[in-house]
């Protein structure tokens, strides 16, 4: 997912960009409101999936920037700011923000909120613009994953999966070959933080490998997470 980070502090932006990149985001950094608005304008450029917007910008008030963004695009906006009073939060949401995160924040919570607003807003503008909306059926060699009916089959034979097993497989199938970090998987599938849930993830991965009878389909990337490996053609 492409993400626009609007933050005037280069040190904060660099640290957060590194974290987001490790979780699979393609980050564009804008240091001012004008840079942010310009980044949203280029014709033909893939749209952003989420905008992280700091309010303390050098050229414009962040609330004003949010209002301008909302007039140009439906891209989800998460305000990230030290202004934690209720009136500021209400004003931000009234200006069109989809969520409001107060500094200092937990990185895991921020990641969960990014994924949450992306889910709530439905198919991304990027998918609509490029004609690459997620298919109803994902096929990986002999494996067929029907997203609408939550049906999985291997060589035409149904494979019964639990709810979480299906959610895990469907998540990895979104981007075959791309590594999903453990923290991201836990956030997406279990809607919780990493602490205490690591063993549960390992058990579900092992169960999927066994039920699909394809141990090599889900690859463990040591110290990072998991990725789906597209089976080679026979």
3-class DSSP state of 12: helix
pLDDT of residue 195: 55
Query: What distance in Å separates the CA atoms of residue 87 and residue 93, rounded to the nearest whole number?
Result: 10
Domain ranges across the chain: 2-130, 137-228
Judge if 2-130 and 137-228 fold alike in CATH terms. Answer: no
Are the beta carbons of 49 and 118 closer than 8 angstroms? Answer: yes
- In this predicted model, what pLDDT tens digit does every residue of 16-38 receive, in sequence order? 999 888 888 889 999 999 999 99
Burial (CB count within 10 angstroms: exposed 0-12, middle 13-18, buried 19+), residue 88? middle
pLDDT digits (tens, 9 = 90+) for 128-160: 444 444 457 888 889 999 988 889 999 999 999
Confidence check: pLDDT of 43 > 60: no
pLDDT at 94: 87
Peptide bond preceding 104 in cis form (omega within 30 of 0)? yes
Domain 2-130 has CATH 3.10.20.310: no
For residues 126 and 39, the model is more confident at 39
Name residues whose C-beta falls within 8 Å of residue 213's C-beta, 6 or more positions apart in sequence: 154
pLDDT averaged over the chain? 84
Residue 190 is classified by DSSP as: I
**Does the pLDDT of residue 162 top 80, yes or no?**
yes
Burial class for 136, CB neighbours closer than 10 Å (0-12, 13-18, 19+): exposed
Please state the rounded mean pLDDT for residues 51-77.
90
Distance in angstroms (rounded) separating the CA atoms of residues 117 and 61: 23
Q: What share of the chain is helix, strand, coil (3-state, %, to 5)?
A: 40, 20, 40
Mean pLDDT of 8-14: 94
Which of 51-55, 68-72, 78-82 is predicted with the least confidence, judged by mean pLDDT? Answer: 68-72
| The pLDDT value given to residue 16 | 93
pLDDT tier for residue 2 given thresholds of 50, 70 and 90: confident
The listed CATH number (2.30.42.10, 1.10.10.10, 1.10.10.60, 3.40.350.10) that belongs to domain 137-228: 1.10.10.10
Q: Residue 143: what pLDDT?
A: 93
The CA distance from 223 to 134, in Å, is 29
Q: Quick check: helix, strand or coil at residue 208?
A: helix
């Amino acid at each position: 997912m492409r993400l626009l980070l609007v933050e005037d502090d280069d040190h904060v932006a660099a640290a957060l960009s590194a974290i987001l990149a490790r979780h699979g985001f393609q980050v564009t950094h804008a240091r001012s409101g004008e840079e942010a608005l310009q980044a949203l304008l280029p014709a033909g450029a893939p749209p952003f999936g989420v905008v992280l917007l700091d309010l303390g910008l050098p050229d414009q008030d962040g609330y004003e920037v949010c209002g301008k963004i909302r007039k140009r695009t439906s891209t989800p906006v998460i305000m990230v700011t030290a202004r934690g009073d209720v009136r500021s939060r209400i004003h931000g949401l009234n200006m069109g923000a989809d969520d409001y995160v107060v500094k200092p924040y937990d990185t895991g919570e921020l990641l969960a909120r990014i994924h949450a607003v992306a889910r709530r807003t439905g198919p991304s503008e990027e998918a609509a613009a490029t004609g690459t909306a997620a298919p109803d059926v994902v096929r990986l060699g002999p494996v067929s994953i029907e997203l609408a009916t939550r049906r999985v089959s291997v060589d035409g034979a149904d494979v019964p999966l639990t709810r979480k097993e299906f959610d895990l497989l469907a998540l990895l199938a979104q981007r075959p070959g791309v590594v999903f970090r453990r923290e991201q998987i836990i956030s997406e599938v279990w809607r919780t933080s990493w602490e205490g849930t690591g063993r549960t993830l390992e058990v579900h991965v092992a169960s999927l490998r066994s039920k699909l009878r394809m141990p090599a389909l889900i690859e463990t990337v040591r110290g990072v997470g998991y990725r789906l490996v597209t089976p080679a053609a026979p």
